[in-house]
Structure 1
Amino acid sequence: MSKFDLVVIGAGPGGYVAAIRAAQLGKSVAIIEKERQLGGTCLRVGCIPSKALLESSHLFEHAGHGFASRGIKVSGLEIDLGAMMDQKQGVVDTLAGGIDGLMKKNKIERFFGHATLANPTTVQITSEDNTEEVTGDTILLATGSTPASLPGIDFDGQFVGSSTDAIAYEEVPEHLVVIGGGVIGLELGTVWRRLGSQVTVLEYLDRILPGMDNELAKDALRIFKKQGLKFHLGARVTGVTNDGTKATVTVDGQDSITCDKVLMAVGRRPNTENLGLEAAKVEVDKRGFVVVDNHYKTSAGNIYAIGDLIGGAMLAHKAEEEGLACVEQLYSGYGHVNYNAIPGVVYTDPEIASVGKTEEELKEAGIAYNKGTFPFIANGRAKASGTVDGKVKLLAHKETDRILGAHIIGPHAGELIAECVVAIEFGASAEDIARSSHAHPTLSEVIKEAALAVDGRTIHM
C-alpha cells in the first residue's frame, strides 16, 4: 500500500491545481481520477469544449451575416458539423495531455479508477482491471458536480440530455428546447441557434441569469430575443415524453412544446456518489454538499474538500482558488480566497461578466452606493469592430468610493472584467480607475468612462 502526504480525489481544475501546488511545496502527492483524461468536467465536457463550439458557431454566423457589411463576400457557406466536433475534441485532447505532462513534471503519482474512502486515511481505488489502496496523511476531495434534472424527468441520452450531450449532437436539431435560462442553457442554446436550430428557452423564474445583476439580465434578454432565441419565463416544466421520433415538453398552464432535443440545464449537484463519506464520517448538508470550515476542513479532521463539492459558485476558477488556498494553508500556514472578487462570465455574444455585489444585493443590505454606466456604442474601438451592444456598470460605495461591484455586457466582457477584479481585490476606488490611463482606442476605455460616470463626469457622452 502506497502512502502519501496528500491524496487528491478528482483531477478537475481544483484537484489538479491543488496537487501541483502541494508538490511545489515539497509534499508527496497522489491524484486519483476515474476518467482516462485529466481535467475534470470543465476540460472534458464543460467549459473548454463549449467555448470551442461557441467560437466556431460565432465564426459561422459572422461569415454568413457579418462579413458583407465589411465588403467581404462569401458564397457556398455550409456547416461540416463533424469537422467542427473534431476541432473541439482536438482542443480537449491537447489540454488534457498538457495536464498529464504537468503531473509527471511535478512527480505527482496518478491513479486511475473510482475512489472510495474506506476510512479517514485510506482510499480504495477500483478500476476494471484491479482494486488497490493508498493512504494519505491528508485527503482532499475535489470530485466536482454532475448535471441535475427535474423530478420525474430522466436523462435518456436521445431526447433528454445534459450539457455533455449538447456538446456532441451528431446533427443540428431542427428544434431544441432548453430547460433553464442560466449560463449553461444560454451558452449552448446560442451555439445551436447559430448553427440553424430553432431554440426555445423555458425558465421557471420571471427572469434569466438568476444571481447576476438584474439590469444586465434584462439587457441580455432583449438582445437574445433579437438574435432569435425564444423565451418562456415563469414556465414550470412538468414532464417530457417522446413518441420515438419527437419529444414533447409539458409546461404547467401553457401549451406543450414538441421538439427534437431537450437540453436540461437546471443546475448541478455535488458528485458524492459512492465516495464513502459515511465510512469516513464526513458530514454533508441537506442538499448533499460537503460541510467544511473556513479552511476547507471537513468533520473528519484530516479530510478537506473544495470546489463544486462544497457549494457556492460552481466555477472552475473558484475551485482553483480554493485548491490553492487549502494546500497553502495546510503546508505554508496561510491561504485565503476573496469570494467577493470571483468573476462570473457568460460566453454568449455579447459576453456578460460580473464581479462583486449587484445592485439588488446592495439595496437589500442597505449599503449606499453610486452608480456609473457607459455604453459600448460610444466607444471608438467598439464602433470600428461593429460590436456596440451593451455597457459597463460600476457600483461604488457612496462614502469611500471603493468599487463594490462591476457588471459588463458587451464585447470581450470576460476579458475586461479582470481589471475590475483586481480593483476590488486591492480596494481600489472608482476614482483610481478614472485616473488610470487606458490605451486608445480600446474597449477598456468603457470601464474608465463608467468610472468617471460614478461622479457624473464622463467625457464621451
Structure 2
Amino acid sequence: MSAADRSVVVIGGGPGGYEAALGAAQLGAEVTVVERAGVGGAAVLTDCVPSKALIATADFMDRFSAAKRIGVHFDGAGVPRDQGVTAHITDVNSRIMGLAQTQSRDIAERLESAGIEIVQGAGRLAGAGVVEIVEGIPDVESGEEPSPHGADLAEADSSRRIEADVILIATGARPRVMDTAVPDGERILTWQQIWDLQELPEHLIVVGSGVTGAELAHAYLGLGCQVTLISSRDRVLPGEDADAANVVEDVFRRRGMTVLNRSRAGAVRREGEEVVVTLEDGREVTGSHAMLAVGSIPNTTDMGLAEAGVSLTRSGHIEVDRVSRTSAPGVYAAGDCTGVLPLASVAAMQGRIAVAHALGDAVAPLSLGRVSSNIFTDPEIATVGVSQADIDEGRVDARAVMLPLTKNPRAKMQNVQDGFVKLFARRGSQTIVGGVVVSPRASELIFPIALAVANRLNVDQFSSTFTVYPSMSGSLAEAARQLHEITD
C-alpha cells in the first residue's frame, strides 16, 4: 500500500504533531489532526513561545540599565524604574498572547493549505486503528490545568470515530503541582497561568530552579520584580554544564535575585494578598506571588492507551523506540508525552521520523547526541553533543578547552561581562564531539558547533574556516586551534 492510500490521525497539534502531519501530507497520506486547545499546542500557546517573548521584553529593558556602562546617559540614576522605564504587565502579556495566537493561526493555515483536516476536540484510542474524537471546546472555567486530551470538554458537540492506518500520539505534558501547593490562578501559579496576571508581582517566589524556573526567574527580575529562586540542589540548573550554571547563578545574585540553594519547598499557602512558601527545614519565605516550576507530567491518562497495548513507563510516559514506534502496531508517539527529551525541536524530529517510518520513506533513527539546546537566561546557555560530565566521569575520552568571552574583542565592544565558549574534542582523531556556549544569543552561536558534531569535523577543519573579525564566533575557532596545540 502506497502512502497515498493510507490515512494518518495525529492526536495533539504541538510541534511533534503538526510537523508529523505536514510530513505525512507531503508523502501523500490523508491526514487528520485532533487538537484540544489550539494548533501549536502548549509550546506555542502557553510555554515556549510566550516565555521566550517575555524574556525578550526583559532583555530589552535591561539595555537601559546597561546604558551608562557604555557611555549612554539618561536623566535617571541608571536603573530602568528610575528612568521611567517600567513594564506594564497587562500590555506585555497582551502582546505576548497576541504573538502566540498569530503563530497558532500561521501553523493552522499551513496545515490547511497542505490539505490536512483540523478537528478541535479530544482524541483517544478506541481499538486497533480507531480513534474516537469528542469534538468541542476546552472547559477552562475551573482555572485548573486539564489534560489536553482528557474527556473534560465543555460544549461537547459530537463524537465520532475515525479509522486510521497510522496513529501518532503527541499530547505533550502539563505542569506538575504539589498536593501541598495547589495553584489558585491568582497568587499561586503554574507557568501556564502567569499570562493572566493583572499586576507585576512585587515579590515573586519561583519554586524550582530547572530550565523553566531559571528562565522565568530571570525574566521577572529583568521586568523589575523582586525575585527569590528556591533550588533544592547545590546550584541552579543542576542538569546543565556546571561552569555554565555557576556563571548564570553568579549573574542572578549580582543583579539582586535571592537564590536559596539546598532548599526544598514543602508547601505553599496563601495568606490574603501574600503567599508563604514553607521549606522542608522549617524556614518560611513570604512574597506576593509564587510560581511552581517543579517539573511536568505527561498527558497520557484517559486515552485508552493501555487497553490498546501501548506500554507506559512508571511515570506515565509512552515508551517508544528510536523511530517513535510504541508497543502497539501502527501507533507512534512523539514529544513530551514520551519523555525522550523535552524540547520542541526533538518533538518535531520524532514526529517527522515517525511518519516517514510508518509510510515507508527513507529515515534515520533519532540521534540525541546531535541535539543542540538552549536556556534563554541572560547570558544564554547553549549545548550540543557530549558534556563535561561525560568526560570527567570517563564515559568519553576527550579533551576540553574553555575560553572566557571577556578576552573577545567583539564581546568587549558589546559590554559582555560574563560567558565563555567550551569545545570538546576526542583524543587521537581530534573530532569535535560537543561544546558549550555561554553568551548573549548563544542559541545562534551553537550552530557551528552542532554542524561540526553532526558531520564529525576535526579541530583543524573547524579552525581553518574563516570567521569575521571582530566576532564572537572568533572564539569558537580559537578554542579549536588551542585543542590542536594540546598533545599527549
Same structural fold, with TM-score higher than 0.5 when normalized by the shorter chain: yes
1:281 maps to which of 302, 309, 318:
309
- 1:187 is displaced (CA, Å) by 1.0
1:4 shift after superposition: 6.0
What's the counterpart of residue 416 of structure 2? 387
Q: Counterpart amino acid of 2:306?
A: E
Partners of 2:393 and 2:246 lie apart in 1 by 19
1:24 alignment partner in structure 2: 26
Describe the SS at the equivalent of 1:124: strand
Cα distance in 1 between the residues matched to 2:68 and 2:45: 32
What residue identity is the alignment partner of 1:78? T
Q: Look up the equivalent residue of 1:59 and give its one-letter code.
A: F
Across the aligned residues of Structure 1 and Structure 2, the Cα RMSD in angstroms comes to 1.7
Letter aligned with residue 331 of structure 2? I
Deviations 1:345-396 (A, max 9, x none): 1111111111111111223244322111112111122111112310001111
SS at match of 1:113: strand
| 1:121-153 CA distance string (max 9 Å, x none) | 111111222212211111000001111123532
What CA deviation, in whole Å up to 9, does each residue of 1:173-208 have, x standing for no partner? Answer: 111111111111111111111122111111111122
Q: Aligned with 2:192: secondary structure?
A: helix
Alpha-carbon separation, structure 2, partners of 1:425 and 1:167: 38
**Structure 2 residue 293 is matched with structure 1 residue 242:** no
1:371 is matched with 400
Counterparts in 2 of 1:334-373, with a 5 A limit?
334-373=363-402
Cα distance change, pair 151–355 in 1 and its aligned pair in 2 (3 A): farther
* 1:321 and 2:376 aligned: no
Measured in 2, the distance between the counterparts of 1:113 and 1:245 equals 37
Report the equivalent of 1:84: 92
Give, in whole Å, the separation in 2 of the partners of 1:275 and 1:72.
59
Q: Which digits, 9 at most, give the CA deviation of each residue in 1:58-83, with x for residues without a partner?
A: 11232244267342536432333222
Find 1:199's aligned residue among 221, 227, 242: 227
Aligned match of 2:143: none
| Contact 1:166/1:188 (8 A) holds in 2 | no
Structure 2 CA distance, aligned partners of 1:269 and 1:400? 42
Change (3 A) 1:357 1:150: farther
CA gap 1:366/1:109 in 2 versus in 1, 3 angstroms:
closer
Is the Cα contact below 8 Å between 1:388 and 1:410 reproduced in 2?
no
Q: CA deviation at 1:265?
A: 0.7
**Residue 442 of structure 2 aligns with which residue?**
413
Instruction: Determine the structure 2 residue equivalent to 1:39.
Output: 40
Question: Compared with structure 1, are the counterparts of its residues 5 and 368 closer, same or farther at alpha carbon in structure 2 (3 Å cutoff)?
Answer: same
Distance 2:72 2:259 in 1: 34
Contact kept? 2:410, 2:470, Cα under 8 Å: yes
Match of 1:133 in 2: 161
Name 1:422's counterpart in structure 2.
451
Report the CA distance between 1:232 and its aligned residue.
1.0
Instruction: Specify whether residues 235 and 272 from structure 1 end up closer, same or farther in structure 2 by C-alpha distance, changes over 3 A only.
Output: same
How far off its partner does 1:340 sit? Answer: 0.6
Equivalent position of 1:119 in the other structure = 127
- Partner Cα distance (1:234, 1:125) in 2: 46
CA contact (8 A) 1:187 1:348 kept: yes
Asked if 2 retains the 8 angstrom alpha-carbon contact of 1:372 and 1:452, the reply is no
**SS of residue paired to 1:280:** coil
Cα pair 2:330 2:358 within 8 Å, conserved: no
The worse-fitting range, judged by mean Cα deviation, of 104-113 and 424-433 is 424-433
Query: Structure 1: 5+ residue runs without aligned partners?
Result: none
* Cα distance in 2 between the residues matched to 1:54 and 1:168: 16
Q: 2:8 aligns with which of 6, 19, 22?
A: 6
1:443 maps to 472
SS at match of 1:55: helix
What's the counterpart of residue 213 of structure 1? 241
Match of 2:182 in 1: 154
Matches of 1:369 and 1:64, distance apart in 2: 41
Deviates more, 1:361-370 or 1:239-248: 361-370
Q: Which residue of 1 aligns with 2:254?
A: 226
Deviates more, 1:145-154 or 1:185-194: 145-154
CA distance in 2, matches of 1:373, 1:286: 39
The alpha carbon displacement at 1:418 in A equals: 1.0
Shift of the alpha carbon at 1:244? 2.5
Once the two structures are overlaid, the 10-residue window that deviates more, 67-76 or 219-228, is 67-76
Percentage of identical aligned residues = 30
Give the distance between the partners of 2:320 and 2:340, measured in 1 at CA: 12
Amino acid aligned to 1:45:
T
Question: TM-score scaled to structure 1, two decimals?
Answer: 0.94
Partners of 1:231 and 1:78 lie apart in 2 by 24
Classify the secondary structure of the residue corresponding to 1:133. Answer: strand
Contact 2:97 2:195 in 1 (8 A): no
SS of the residue 1:421 aligns to: helix
Pairwise CA distance, 1:101: 0.8
Cα 1:221–1:269 shift into 2, 3 Å: same
Q: Report the TM-score when normalising by structure 2.
A: 0.89
**Are residues 239 and 80 of structure 1, via their aligned partners in 2, closer, same or farther at CA, if it must alter by over 3 Å?**
closer
Sort the Cα spacing of 1:21 and 1:409 in 2 relative to 1 into closer, same or farther, 3 A.
same
Letter in 2 for 1:362: I
Distance in 2 (CA, whole Å) between partners of 1:236 and 1:90 is 36
Give 1:304's aligned residue. 332
Aligned CA distance change for structure 1 residues 70 and 125 (closer, same or farther; 3 Å)? farther
Aligned length: 454
